[in-house]
Amino acid sequence: MLKKIEETFAGKIWNTAFYQDTMVLEVRDESKREVSFSALNLKSGEVLWRDFRPEKSWWLGLVGVFGNHLILHKYSTQQKPEPLGVILINIETCSVEKRIEDWIFFNCDGNILNLYQLDESNLPVYQSIEIGTKPLKSVISAENQYFVRHYPESSPHFPTIFKFLYHLINIEAQNGVDYLEVNDKIIFSYYIYRGNQFQNYLLVTNQNKKILLHDFIAESEGIGIDTFSIKSDILLYVKNQNQLIGYEI
């Protein structure tokens, strides 16, 4: 397997968004109370731009990527943050194209951005803004969408996976496993319990049980789900919370 991406960021990879071969990451540096955004081309592995901070505020969050635009929400500083506005960023130029105060994201088709706010009667009022030249079209066909399955210990499938992993690498998987079959490969994200921590590993084998990749992901107090994904035929996972790894699958 060919490694295409290995990028380390100065904070936790908090959220991600995709459109075609573009990936955008929201990175939060909790020690500095800074949030930044970075963009990559998955096919080439090229970093388009990184550590972009459209505002000094910690209270920004990624909404999604729509065509060549990244949309962010601004939030209040309350314990239960409420959206306060929208920031529109051009991915190609890495620049703020528009700031729309006091409006909340509703949806976007890549051409028309729809926003709303609540009036004095707490009823929604809408506005639409043209941001592109044509509606966004999905380029991912149904057969190329990969859905990672999570099997907890209570699943009837878990004992079969447990036995497979035990005989292959002599470990006892615990609590749950993320699982995906793609092409001739089988991908597992499993946990073992050591030193009062759960240790998460990623394992890729082929159908002949040859190990193609076996990598430590992170330690944690509990287990997670969706610990890896496949986009643009790249196997993606976050290692130690701040490192993005991608392999051609």
Prediction pTM value: 0.89
The beta strands (E) that lie in 9-132 are given as 12-19, 22-29, 34-41, 47-52, 60-66, 69-75, 83-90, 95-101, 104-108, 112-118, 124-130
Tell me what pLDDT residue 135 has: 57
180-238 per-position pLDDT tens digit: 999 999 999 999 998 888 999 999 999 999 999 999 999 987 777 789 999 999 999 99
Q: How far is CA 81 from the centre of its chain?
A: 21
- The segments of the chain whose pLDDT lies below 70 read 78-81, 133-144
Q: What are phi and psi for residue 81, nearest 5 degrees? A: -60, 140
Tell me what pLDDT residue 134 has: 59
* Domain residue limits, the chain: 3-138, 149-227
The CATH architecture annotation of domain 3-138 reads 7 Propeller (2.130)
Tell me what pLDDT residue 29 has: 95
